[in-house]
């Protein structure tokens, strides 16, 4: 990702955040997103809204959890760091409470083999294996421990009663992956209810 300049990455992240907000995939200040650049993580600061994100709304954190600017990072940044530290190919992480993915996160349990019963092949093709993470309070050390213990070779996770978090090699790919996850979750809900 280092062949792309930091300003371009900021612009892509802001564009993705606005698209997610405008499409109703995030609301208020409940989502968080980060990208990696030169071994630093640029993550949306605490209480920022995807609908009006600017460059000044990012906190900068190193891979050892040291905050490098005046902005407090999203309280859930340890989950982002878990993915970056375990997957060198991951350069962007997005976490939302998007409606249909969160529906399945509330309905499923650790025992379920299929978390989202996708009626089409695209969920598996574009998102891959989705790993279930047992419930712990949002922002809690218990959640971060459970998430870290759940990280496998997958880069797609569903937090019980909470929502999806996923990573990919760049900002746009992470966005496409989240869009596919939410669309598949919506289709699965429609098949179940109609």
Indicate which residue of 37, 122, 135, 176 is catalytic: 122
For 105, the token pair is 């996160």
Beta-carbon contacts of residue 171 (< 8 Å; ≥ 6 apart)? 9, 12, 13, 16, 35, 91, 92
Eight-state DSSP code of residue 167: E
Distance CA 125, CA 117 (A): 14
Q: What angle do CA 102, 103, 108 make, to 5 degrees?
A: 95
Cβ contact 182:190 at 8 Å:
no
DSSP H/E element including 173: helix 171-193
Q: Clarify whether 76 is annotated catalytic.
A: yes
Distance CA 80, CA 63 (A): 10
- What count of other Cβ atoms lies within 10 Å of the Cβ of residue 83? 24
Indicate which residue of 76, 179, 180, 182 is catalytic: 76
Q: What angle do CA 127, 131, 135 make, to 5 degrees?
A: 130
Q: Clarify whether 70 is annotated catalytic.
A: no
Residues with catalytic function: 76, 122
């Amino acid at each position: 990702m280092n062949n792309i300049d930091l300003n371009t990455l900021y612009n892509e992240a802001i564009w993705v955040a606005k698209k997610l907000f405008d499409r109703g995939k995030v609301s208020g200040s409940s989502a968080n997103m980060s990208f990696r650049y030169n071994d630093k993580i640029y993550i949306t600061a605490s209480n920022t809204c995807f609908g009006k994100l600017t460059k000044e709304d990012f906190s900068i954190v190193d891979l050892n959890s040291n905050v490098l600017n005046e902005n407090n990072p999203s309280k859930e940044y340890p989950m982002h760091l878990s993915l970056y530290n375990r997957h060198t190919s991951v350069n962007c992480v997005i976490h939302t409470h998007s409606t249909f993915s969160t529906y399945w996160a509330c309905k499923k349990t650790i025992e379920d083999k299929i978390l989202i019963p996708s009626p089409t092949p695209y969920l598996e093709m574009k998102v891959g294996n989705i790993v279930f993470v047992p419930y712990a309070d949002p922002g809690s050390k218990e959640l971060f421990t459970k998430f870290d213990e759940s990280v496998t070779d997958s880069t797609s996770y569903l937090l019980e009663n909470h929502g999806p978090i996923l990573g990919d090699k760049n900002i746009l790919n992470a966005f496409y992956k989240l869009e596919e996850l939410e669309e598949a979750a919506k289709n699965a809900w429609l098949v179940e209810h109609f």
